[in-house]
Chains A and B, each alone.
Chain A
Amino acid sequence: MSKVQLSNVIKTYPNGAEAVRGVDMEIQSGEFIVFVGPSGCGKSTLLRMIAGLEKITDGQIHIDDGLINDVSPADRDVAMVFQNYALYPHMTVRGNMSYGLKNRGMPKSEIDKKVTDAAEMLRIGDFLDRQPNQLSGGQRQRVAMGRAIVREPKVFLFDEPLSNLDAKLRVQMRIEIKRLQRRMNVTSIYVTHDQTEAMTLADRLAVINDGKIEQMGAPIDLYNNPETLFVASFIGSPQVNLLPVTFDGQHLVNGNLKLAGFSDLPNSKELVLGIRPDELSLDDNGQFPLRVDIVEQHGSDNLIYGGILGATDDGVEEMEFCFKTSQDMLPDLDSTLTLGFNAERAMVFDKTTGDRLR
């Protein structure tokens, strides 16, 4: 159980790429933190700096009270699970799991006990004498986790550990990782670009964009109260509906649309209105005429995609919207639905800065 603290951490690669541009973060003991963000935003770089696999250009990283900037990876007492597992191909599962302990000079009997216990916990006990190429993807993943677990490190680091698995296995493993982490109560940092994984695993979620933390907090808070346009559009599936608007003193205006219920917004600026697909509802007095394009049936609910008549954006007529509804709502294609929304729960952003205005 350990705290991790990052202060103004910066990474510039030798080729000049600024991968991380000043990250501050305090991670409590036993917390499960997820870094999420688009490809190339610097998630892996940040994680690898904590692991010691990348040099820290500037700033400080502490684990517990020790500054670890110049501590070697082995001495940081962290364990990492890699995306491609990185198992030693010529060693058995047992060999893979015990290698780190052997290097630390642990007596053989103790190693055996730890490996057996961890294998039990991960249900790979039957495979201990196999080599990685005789295992399925899911089993390899477990071995990679086992290799991390036996070390009993201060911090677990995961870099997209599930992205090589098929969808069903991914869900299983996700639950298992969460369960293991609860049980072992080890501080964990998990990198992913899958927002379902991010939402479900995290105690706290850090949304990273272009080397900086956009917002950090409990997943549900980020969903309900995104502070920026980026976070609003990144968190939530299906994505939030975005409509460029201006404010005329009483209404938000786009083309023929005039949306009431807003006040205290700047007149002159370009704004963006954000409405989650499940905040829309069928409403005969509603403001959005939606021409139905595609209906996706997901089982318990349907997603209806279509264009909003009269709404434009830079020459695009009929802004695309998504409407989430129940499974018995099956409109004809090209029919028009009238949708309303709750202005109280809608979000408004400054289009240029991306800041949330209300």
Chain B
Amino acid sequence: MKQWNWRLISTHAILIVGVCFMSLPVWVAFATSTHSAEHILRNGLQFWPGSDFVETYRQVLFVDGGVMKSVLGTTMLKNSLILGIGFAVGKVIISMLAAYAIVYFRFKLAVPLFWVIFMTLLLPLEVRIIPSYEVVAGLGLLDTHVGLIVPLIASATGTFFFRQFFRSVPDELLEAARLDGATAWGFFKDILVPLSKTMIAAILIIMFVVGWNQYLWPLIMTTKEENYTLVIGIKQIYQILAEGGELPQYQKAFALTILATLPPVLVVLVFQNWFVKGLVESEK
């Protein structure tokens, strides 16, 4: 009994330390963001919330020149949302269609093509970033949402997940649908898509977070402030801090950081159930 208690205590202690380790920086960032710039400059990082919460966040979100030279926090939030959602939706659509072709159409190159797609998993965006930039620039899509999203949406991971899922769908469903007069498109939209609902939800969520956190590509792609995403905004504001100059606006930098972490957290919290279901569900 005693030994068991010890175990319980030690495992909990480790977990608690872990939780603190992970969440303390976030808390400090939040607490600091609620103090005034002078206070921070004089006293350093803050562990308890101050009185400037409303003022700081109002400045960051709604005041022209409050955080960047011109762009508002809300605009960056909007850009990030567009990137996150467009990225996730685009990836799901492209990878479902690719997986559908690979699993259900017996063309000769299906297997090699799948492995080619699969191998691109090994090549991160960074490897092809120069050619991608060239192409997008050539198309005149720099500083546009389309140019930002499209080069990112091809997805080996998504294709792989959907392929595995489609292969687990019984063949008889396809056969029944064929006898029922369903076309290739009809089978996809009436049967496969509804069956993949939870899977789609899970991938949407993961990909939203990944898209939201995209850094290098948006950094290269966007030159105008009005196209900044939150992540780029953070990068810029810390750069300004590092360069020095007038009174450093640490609280605004921290506020922007907190704002950037909120939406992914909210998405995961709200859709947690779907997310788990999509990843573990096997019974169709």
Contacts and interface: CB of A to CB of B under 8 A. Distances in A.
Interface in B181-223: 181-183, 186, 190-191, 194-195, 197
Contact of A86 (B172, B182, B190, B197): B172
B195 A100 contact: no
B182 A99 contact: yes
A89 B195 contact: yes
Contacts, number: 60
A248 B190 CA distance: 71
A192 B181 CA distance: 26
Contacts of A80: 175-176, 179
A169 interface: no
B191 A88 contact: yes
**Contact residues of B: prevailing secondary structure:** helix
A137 to B, nearest CB: 16
Interface string A42-65: 000000000111000000000000
A82 B175 contact: yes
A103 B177 CA distance: 10
Contact of A74 (B179, B191, B194): B179
B170 interface: yes
A86 B175 contact: yes
Interface in B68-93: none
Interface residues of A, number: 23
Given A89-B195, A90-B194, A99-B190, A82 B182 contact: no
A78 B284 contact: no
Contacts of A74: 178-182
A91 B176 CA distance: 13
A88 B176 contact: yes
Contacts of A99: 177, 180, 182, 190
A84 interface: yes
A183 interface: no
- For chain B, the bracket of interface size reads 10 to 19
Given A84-B172, A90-B194, A100 B178 contact: no
Interface in B229-284: 284
Contacts of B178: 52-53, 72-74
Interface centre among B179, B186, B195 (most CB of A within 10 A): B179
A33 interface: no
A53 B175 contact: yes
Given A89-B284, A99-B190, A103-B186, A84 B170 contact: yes
A100 B170 contact: no
A168 interface: no
A79 interface: yes
B173 interface: yes
Interface centre among B173, B176, B178 (most CB of A within 10 A): B176
B179 A51 contact: yes
A103 B179 contact: no
A104 interface: yes
Interface string A64-99: 000000001110001110101011111100000001
A173 to B, nearest CB: 19
A90 B186 contact: no
Contacts of A151: 180
B191 A100 contact: no
B148 to A, nearest CB: 35
A79 B181 contact: no
Contacts of A91: 194
Contacts of A84: 170, 172
Contacts of A147: 176, 180
Nearest to A84: B172
A78 B178 CA distance: 11
B180 A103 contact: yes
Nearest to A54: B175
13 contacts: A52-B178, A73-B179, A74-B180, A74-B181, A82-B176, A84-B172, A86-B175, A87-B176, A88-B173, A88-B190, A100-B179, A103-B186, A151-B180
Given A53-B178, A73-B175, A103-B182, 8 more contacts: A53-B179, A74-B179, A82-B172, A87-B176, A89-B195, A99-B190, A100-B179, A104-B181
Interface of A: 51-53, 72-74, 78-80, 82, 84, 86-91, 99-100, 103-104, 147, 151
